[in-house]
Each structure stands twice: as structure tokens, then as C-alpha cells.
Structure 1
Amino acid sequence: MALFIRTIIKYILVPIGIIYAAFNKSKDEILILMYHRVDDDVKRELAVTRRDFNWQMNYLYRKGYNVIPMDEAYFRIWEHSIRGKNIVITFDDGYEDYYTNAYPVLKRYGFPSIVYLCPGYIGTDKKYWWDKDEKHARLMQWKHIYRLNQEDLVDFGSHTMTHVDMDKLKREEFDTELGMSKRLMEDRLNRSIRHFAYPRGIYSKFGEEALGRYYDTGVLISNGKKIDKECNICNAYTLKRIPILKSDGRYLFIARIKGWLVLEEVIRKFIMSYRTGRRR
């Protein structure tokens, strides 16, 4: 019922978004899509179904979207060369269903993607706190990551060592959560780890400053900055991502990438700012 209500509310918001988009249309932009899980057995908003995920990737393929890796997105921001409609596909947390369900679809369409990992959980029996009562919450092990590391279409980024909120960290803890995460993955995978995702999209000014010592980019959620021709290297650590949710299904996925759910983004940003303010 909750899923149905969310879907109906989003459909109600779409007409407002269509009007807004008509006056704020950008021909040249990079949209970063944020996924977490592709699993039919998980009933949460952050888990899209296999069927919907395949449809969404097929839609991007049919409509000729240019799906690019995060490295190329960073290069285009740096060079001020954002042209056309570009998509970056990201996955957070490193669930095993990325390996079993998502990557085979991405490979079929030749789409690159980046997975943001918390190496403090890899190779352990630990679950994320929100998965305490979730039966289907297996994370990728190093054996899965090693195999994916051989694929040209897969990149990895850091999501801190232990998925800690950035505004909870003391200054002396940043090297552990940001630096150790990077060093451990680089040692394991023999590749550069250049990109970072803020856990839960929670931003802190000192966190942004600390990122500059380790990474080239940092991605938020609705509280990030839109990537278009006005974007520049100064905000590469606060890039906007678009969350793709179970209740989006197919047609609301189209609405998301066309910018028709902008009012929902405003509401989400307000709630996130309010929660962050209360935590301080």
C-alpha cells in the first residue's frame, strides 16, 4: 500500500515538473543515476525489480543516451566539454545482486557503471544496520569484486570504510574512513580509486575539504549540484545524483531522467536539510 501511495503522489507531481522542465530545459548535461539493489525479493524502495531494471537500461539504449563512466564525466567537467545527454550509472553499498542481477544486464548493453564499496564490510558476516532484519542482504565478497575488476565496464569507488555519516566524523577520523578505504581497495585491486559517494547523501563542509586529499569527485543525492554547462571543477565534490526507486517502475523512470519529478526533489532536499540541521 505504501508503495502504491508513493507512486500515485509522484504521478500527481509530474504535470508540475513537465511545466518546469519546459522552461528550464538543458540540452547538454550529465545525469548520474543512483541505484542500490536489483532484487525481486527485497520489498524496499531502494531495490528495483530485475524486470524494471532491464526495461530501464533498454530504454536508455533505445533512446540513444550516451552512458559514460565516472572518469569521463570528471574529464568533461574539468574540460568544460559537457555536450548532449549523458548518463552515469552508479551503485551504492556493494550488494551481491549487483554481480548476479545488475551487471549481466549492463554488460548486455555495453553500459559502464561504478560501484561504491565499504571495504570494512567486505569479507565479513556484518550487515548494514538497515538490513538487520532483511534476509536477502548479501554483500559482494572479494572473489566477486576481483572478477568484476577484470571487466572494462566496471569501476569502483569509496563509500567510506564503514558507511558512516560524514557529519558524525571527527577530523582525526577522516583519514581512516576516506584514506584507508581508498588505500585498501587500491592495494587489493591494483587500480586507482578516484571517486567517492557520501553515505546517505549527508554532506559536511569539512568532509568536502577532506575529499580533495583523496578523490577527484564526490557524489551526493538531491542536495548535490546539477551537472550542465554551468558546472565547473569547483563543485566536483558535491555532484547531484538521481535516485532510482522501486516505485518509479518504468514510466516514472522516464519522468526522473527528463526532470519531471523536480518538485519531489525539492521536498526531498528540504527533508534532508531539516534532518541534518536537527542532528547538529
Structure 2
Amino acid sequence: MASVTKTRTAATRLLTAVAVLSGLVLSAAQAHAATPTPPAGESSATATVLPVVDMEATVLAAQIDPRRADSTQTPGAHDSVLAVEQALQARGFLAAQWVDGYFGTSTTTAYAAYQRSLGFSGLDANGLPGVTSLTSLGQGRYTLTRTIGPGAKLQRDGYTVNTRTQNMLTEAERLLGFHLTLDQGSYNPGGDPTSAGTHDGGGVVDINVDGMTSATRNNVALVLRQVGFAAWVRNPTQGNWPWHIHAAAINDTDLATQAQNQTGDYYLGLNGLANHGADDGPRITIQTWEQYQRTH
């Protein structure tokens, strides 16, 4: 009888051990199934989350930073610009010493070279990031958020503008309560020598002010600034032109280099002219069209 009891006890212990072992094997299998599988060729130890590049902030920095007299960085753009510069360095377009989160002239030159390597030329390779080149550059290195673009070209008052500019003008008209008539549009290379190339690309218009009082002209400039234009009332004493309002859409990725310079100067409190005079327009909290849309 004792031997039978011992046999039963041994069997019980064996079954218990088997159950415990089965549980351990099952737990290990469940844990393996719950662990994400890294991309092919990449171990779980090296899998990392890619940085995020804010396109709005990057494009803004590309307009402002090259116009600065020092290396002050555009607020909110450091991490995005740094990721772009690291990608340019990795591809051999930018020296390590310029990878610092400041989108200065060296970064602009490097980015233009990268655009040319993609087959772009002219205004499409002037160093101002566009969504196609920025997406291509970031493959495997960063993800892109807050993408922006000019949209399709269309006609307004007999002049060419892009969809983004048209939408901005339409909103300004809604706020003003009357129609704005253009004297000059965008994509007009060589069309007006007094414009110094600012109208060669997109995002830039001249607005007719015939019949407007001084107060009305200033109010139009104010409203244009509110919706995201760098806008100034121009008078004949400043150049060889009649009274008009000159407006450049901040962060339009089709801006000519000269218009980029104007928007950068606007942020730095200047008048956008060759004399680098103080801004003589109405003062507001500067914002882009996208920033305006998010708050209205």
C-alpha cells in the first residue's frame, strides 16, 4: 500500500511539473507574439522612432534665417531644421559644422544642390523646401507633418496666381467687405523690371489702390498682413512706380528668392526694399496663412 501511495505521489509531482513547464512555454510564446517585429534588416535593439519635421516651421526658417545678421534661430524650427540638415549631411550635401538647427545660407545652398540632384532647376531649385524634395530627403530619416503647397495656378483679374494666394485674397476681401483688384500677379519673370524679381515666382501680387484714401490703403495692408501676407503700401517716392500695395504670401513654397528675402525682412521689422529701411506698415502679430486658419 505504501508503494502505491509513493507511486501516486510521484505521478502527481510529474504532472504538476509538466503543467508548470507548459505554462512557461505558453507565456514565452505569448510574449513573443506581443513583441512588434522590426523592419527587415533591423534588429529590435536598433529600431528607433524617426524625428518629425514640421514643414511649416522649416519653410519659415528658410526665409528668415538667411536674412539675420546673427545665428538666432527661428522659434519652433530648431528640431525640424536640424533633422533636415542631418539628412543633407548624410547625403553629402552639407558639412557637419553647419548642422545646427539654423537654416542659414550654407543650408540653403546645400538644399538647392539636393533639389538639383532630383532634377529640379530654376525657381524649383533655389533652396526653399518644397513638399516633393522634403519628402524625398526624409526617406528613412524623418517623417513630415504640416505639409504646405501653393496649389494649382489660376487667373485673377487677368493675372496668374496660385490657389493658396487666391484663397488668402478671398479671405482678405471677406474681412474688408470689398473686392481687391490686382495690378500685377505672380509667375511674371521680367514682366516689371521695377519689381526686382519678386514676382518671378508664386505668392506675390500688387494691388490697385486707385480711389482709396490713405486710411483705406493702410487698412487693406493691415488685413492682408492678418491673413498671412508680408504687405506694404508703396508710394512713388520709394521707387519708379505708382501708389500700390505690394504683398508677398509668407511660406508660399513657390516664392522667388527675392520674395523670400522680403518675407524674411518683414519678420525682422524691415520694409522689404533694397534700402533695408524700417517697416513702415501697420504692426500686428505676424502669422502665416496656415496659422491664421487654425485660429479662425
Verify same fold: TM over 0.5. no
* Length-normalised TM-score, structure 1: 0.23
Greater gyration radius: 2
Q: Which has the higher contact order (CA 8 A, sep 6+)?
A: 1
* Length-normalised TM-score, structure 2: 0.22
